[in-house]
Amino acid sequence: MEESGQVGVLVEESRLGNRGKRVVCPQSEQEVSELLRHADQKGLKVTVSGGGSKRGFGGRRETYDLEISMSACRGVVEHRCGDLTMTARAGTTIRELTEILSKEGQMLPCDPRWPDTATIGGVIAANETGPRRLRYGSPRDFVIGLRVVYPDGRIIRTGGKVVKNVAGYDMNKLFVGSMGTLGVITEVTVKLRPLPPSRGLVFLLFPPGKEEAIQPCVNGIQASVLEPCTLECLNPALTGELMGKTDHYALMIAFEDGEESVRAQMDRLRSRMSGEASLTCLGEDEIPEWWERWSRLGRQAAATVKIGTRNTDVTGLIREATELGKDKELEMWAHGGAGHGISRIYLDGEDEIILRVLHKLRNSAEKRGGYAVVDRISRDLRQKFDIWGDRIVHRPLLVAIKRTIDPKGTLNDGRFAGGL
């Protein structure tokens, strides 16, 4: 069984690319520094990995000269429970951190995909977020300090270990979302949140012919006193996958607060119901399993698209994408944050059909003033489709920073927008 699983992993890595001809697992920050310094001096091209969950994101290379795996650089360095802060090594998985923090009644305010393999360093480098972004924000909001190794081996520290650290330019933001092209993150200091005493999860199910009622329902919720941490629109394929309602759109609404507050908000939501949708509530003991299933979405899909638009355009975008999938006879699971504007669409089908649909999805996003980034796809399809698009208005600034920090293009060459 172990040999078969390893073969499967190697096949998947080959399909996605961004591997190293040689893989090294440093045990410390100093070893990372020495490896990068050597590679920079010898003109080697280096890529960085953690759990491998971002291997299909960015870049067109099959292999780099060297792959630095951060999988051994894991664990909590410092946890200040009273200050609600924590410092962890970059290779620590989100699952590990969740389990450690839950024992202290605290949590990391993010919910990325595939927490078993996604590492805290990778989540920050890719600026990964989930449905609870509506309440808790993105990595740019909870990262307060980083330790980073530059391509020439220099070690720098940005930010600090306390929340009230506002002196000077916030260098943390330079590395969040940079796809590891500016430096290797070795340590992360983050703000934490107390675990909510109570949680509620409600689904408004819209039957066929009632799709037009979704956005007015969203508008009403946002104009009310309700404070959901998630307000996500699900297309029928995804509703069917998770709830068995294959012909229904759904609004997934989550609350996290004190028990009395959660109960009051759910009661108020029920009182606002009209005839367009039916309401389903999960019991509190069912909610953890639901989020566990949600966290595994899309791992086997052929392509995943991240689309950013105005939040008021999300329900229309999800409906348009769903009809496009039907027209092209493509399997498509889609959800979008009607409160924060980030949507994800998972595609499965023949390569040529996927390429045509990707172009149409990007056009649809850009017509709405937004963008579409393909954040997981095979290397072969990345040769044929620009996963980033040309909506990167700050590219000249990125080029200047890259040339200053990494003039030889040593680190993650070609992984970021515009071939950086």
Scored b (16 or more CB within 10 A) or e, 73-106 reads bbeeeebeeeeebbbbbbbbbbbbbeebbeeeeb
CA-closest candidate to residue 129, choices 339, 330, 286, 278: 339
Q: What pLDDT, on the 0 to 100 scale, is given for residue 223?
A: 94
Are the C-beta atoms of 233 and 251 separated by less than 8 Å? yes
Residues of the chain with CATH 3.30.70.1130: 303-382
- Whether 343 shows a pLDDT value over 60: the answer reads yes
Residues of the chain with CATH 3.30.70.610: 198-295
The DSSP annotation for 116-152 comes to TT-BHHHHHHHT---TTHHHH--HHHHEEEEEEE-TT
- Whether 4 shows a pLDDT value over 70: the answer reads no
Among 55-69, 158-172, 243-257, 342-356, whose mean pLDDT is lowest?
158-172
Q: Over the stretch 202-257, which tens digit does the pLDDT of each residue have?
A: 999 999 999 999 999 999 999 999 999 999 999 999 999 998 877 899 999 999 99
Q: What pLDDT, on the 0 to 100 scale, is given for residue 165?
A: 54
Are the C-beta atoms of 118 and 128 separated by less than 8 Å? yes
Q: What pLDDT, on the 0 to 100 scale, is given for residue 266?
A: 94
Q: What pLDDT, on the 0 to 100 scale, is given for residue 273?
A: 80
Q: What pLDDT, on the 0 to 100 scale, is given for residue 169?
A: 56
Q: What pLDDT, on the 0 to 100 scale, is given for residue 7?
A: 38
CA-closest candidate to residue 233, choices 253, 255, 221, 250: 250
Q: Domain 16-195+390-420 has what CATH class?
A: alpha beta
| Torsions phi, psi for 257 (to 5 deg) | -175, -165
pLDDT band at 12 (very low <50, low <70, confident <90, very high): low
- H/E stretch holding 68: strand 63-69
Q: At what angle do helices 314-327 and 236-243 cross, to 10 degrees?
A: 90
Q: Over the stretch 85-97, which tens digit does the pLDDT of each residue have?
A: 999 999 999 999 9
Kindly state the DSSP code that residue 415 receives in the 8-state scheme: -
Q: What pLDDT, on the 0 to 100 scale, is given for residue 164?
A: 57
Fold of 198-295: Alpha-Beta Plaits (3.30.70)
- Whether 114 shows a pLDDT value over 90: the answer reads yes
Q: Give mean pLDDT, residues 103-110.
A: 96
Report how far Cα 186 is from the mean position of its chain's Cα atoms. Answer: 19
Q: How far apart are CA 191 and CA 342, in angstroms?
A: 23
Q: What pLDDT, on the 0 to 100 scale, is given for residue 396?
A: 79
Q: Give mean pLDDT, residues 12-21.
A: 86
Q: What pLDDT, on the 0 to 100 scale, is given for residue 88?
A: 98
- Whether 168 shows a pLDDT value over 60: the answer reads no
CATH architecture of 303-382: 2-Layer Sandwich (3.30)
